[in-house]
Structure 1
């Protein structure tokens, strides 16, 4: 049997056992729980929300209509979670009876974060790591964290392969540009280069042993306790980048970290709270890459499905210190395509 139930995001625990009280047959039979995640304000479905029924059913995406199903649920008490970027999360208790088939309507409210006035200050020393301080920072960081967790869940649930074009351009001391290399490469979503504080520069490679890979922060780093515990975070407020206004969160390595690392900013859409850009600068680059005076990069993210973001453009500029080398080397990466090994969107 199916009975419609409604849940609204709240902190308190809600028992739904009464909704299935009429189920008397087969007291030990498994239940099936289905539902839809919608927006409180409009009643519209929230595609690709994240739901979980713990401790048995881990985090998973709903489909493009916000629908989900947990099949084969044994009778008992569970922890029901529902998440969507830009919405207040649901975190409640669900009591499930045998042979029941409740249908849930989970309504999430859009978050409203009161941002402080923008203050521009000089560079400060990073003493206490993590998003500590004002409650507004904690609220915005929660949205950044949800972006990161969704990125991780996408790679785990829907393995995919990127195809990327790279263009290298050198700029000489007279300011003249020359494209030195164009190539393409592929990378699996399962590829991992874990962040380690102060160890973001790879070993020398190439014919002359003079090329080094630099690990730029990935979106998943904001959900990595190792990265978070090695950086301070500061809510700047609203800022403009590439002609649009965003919510800006700065990050910088702790003062005790003396080797090459990264600092920068994350830019979130002020309405959806989806990440759109990160900007990155190497700290103490000369300690990790001899001859390099500076390196800055900008990473752009775009939606490939509602609420599903991938980086589609990376631009880095490497500035050299030595006069006998080019002044700069520019590397641009463009996402040419994504091949999902398991379909992300199914025909309606």
Structure 2
């Protein structure tokens, strides 16, 4: 979704214009040389560096992270016109076009912080999802755009910095008297390249490899919120501010379209009201009995933490499977805790 953001765009255009006017004077002399562009991304209000912002220069340079100081560079540029994009969670994006003739060092990209006025919202209970996607309400559109940015960054991290998770799993059963017993503890590893694309109504599948149980339930991950297939199969509703685990968040609900009769997922994303980073997602299976006989309900809570400024990973997952009344035990709880992350190439640049 594109919107005019006169503040940061005007500032950066002025900076680029000053540099490019100098380059234009020598364009004939440097026509056969390649140029470079470098700079930093900062907050317009405070001048604070914005680590791990996302920048792209088109054509030729797809989105990439800045380093931990907000610094970026593009080298080997032929003279011509380029489109520069810069994004960060919680900030208005920049999108500008300028001409490059010679190297342009020391750009200062200033992004303005997003301020979303949330209307008072009264939760009236479950609603039927008729039209998928997001409605035209500006508050919902603004919050959903921040959710998209969380999703894009999560996917870019996996693509740019492949990594391996080491995860501990603990299975606990609960009987009719409420007594719990740990039935299994193990650890497994998973690559960030692992993919199970979302398909409407195809949430439950056979397990294999390190996840070799009786079945595998696909919980939505952050990149799903940027997947058009997932978005078109769900409605999104801005609830407003809500409390979870003792903290206040912006809550955005999602639910499958009413025409989807197979087992699917509904839930909510909980975003920090200042940074707009996703801190929790909650997920519930809809119609679980259709794919999992004997299961009355299944719900999960996923927590996200920063491993570097603005870089989120899920570090805890807790799912509760509730069985039908005739079943013993009555519940099975699975907890996954992140023990460590190994990046195949360094995330932090040595300074």
TM-score, structure 2 normalization: 0.93
Map 1:187-336 → 2, pairs under 5 A: 187-203=190-206, 211-336=214-339
Q: Is the 8 A contact 1:11 1:91 kept in 2?
A: no
Q: Report the alpha carbon displacement of residue 123 of structure 1 after superposing the two structures with TM.
A: 1.0
Counterpart contact for 2:294–2:327, Cα < 8 Å: no
- Structure 2 contact 12–110 (Cα < 8 Å) conserved: no
- C-alpha change, 1:256 and 1:11, in structure 2 (3 Å) is farther
CA contact (8 A) 2:151 2:222 kept: yes
How many aligned residue pairs are there?
Answer: 339
Distance 2:254 2:200 in 1: 14
Q: 2:93 aligned with 1:89, yes or no?
A: yes
Gap runs ≥5 in structure 2: 1-5
Cα deviation digits, residues 278-336 of structure 1 (max 9, x gap):
00000000001111000000000000000000000000000001524210000000000
> Structure 1 residues 11 and 228, CA, compared in 2 at 3 Å: closer, same or farther?
farther
Q: Distance in 2 between matches of 1:192 and 1:11?
A: 41
Higher helix share: 2
Rounded to whole Å, the distance in 2 between the matches of 1:192 and 1:211 is 20
Q: Summarize the Cα distance change of 1:344–1:124 in structure 2 as closer, same or farther, 3 Å threshold.
A: same
CA gap 1:67/1:300 in 2 versus in 1, 3 angstroms: same
Within 5 A, what are the aligned runs for 1:6-155? 9-10=8-9, 14=13, 16=17, 17-24=20-27, 25-97=29-101, 99-155=102-158
The 10-residue stretch of structure 1 (60-69 or 23-32) with the greater mean CA deviation from structure 2: 23-32
Q: 1:299 to 1:227 in 2, by over 3 A?
A: same
Partner Cα distance (2:62, 2:207) in 1: 41
- SS for the counterpart of 1:123 is coil
C-alpha separation in 2, matches of 1:182 and 1:292? 22
Aligned CA RMSD, in angstroms, stands at: 1.9
Maintained 8 Å contact 1:54/1:79: yes
Pick closer, same or farther for the CA change 1:339–1:204 going to 2, 3 Å. Answer: closer
Contact 2:12 2:109 in 1 (8 A): no
Quote the offset at 1:19 in angstroms: 4.0
The answer to whether the Cα contact below 8 Å between 1:148 and 1:219 also exists between their aligned partners in 2 is yes
CA distance in structure 1 between the aligned counterparts of 2:146 and 2:304, rounded to whole angstroms? 15
Q: Deviations over 1:129-188 (max 9, x none)?
A: 111131100000000000000000000000000000000000011111000000000000
* TM-score normalised according to structure 1 size: 0.94
Question: Residues 19 and 102 of structure 1 are in contact (CA less than 8 Å); yes or no, is this contact kept in structure 2?
Answer: no
The structural deviation recorded for 1:26 is 2.6
Structure 1 residue 346 corresponds to structure 2 residue 349: yes
- Of residues 130-139 and 328-337 in structure 1, the stretch that sits farther from structure 2 once superposed is 130-139
1:18 positional shift: 1.8
- Structure 1: gaps of 5 or more residues: 1-6
Structure 1 runs (4+) deviating above 6 angstroms are none
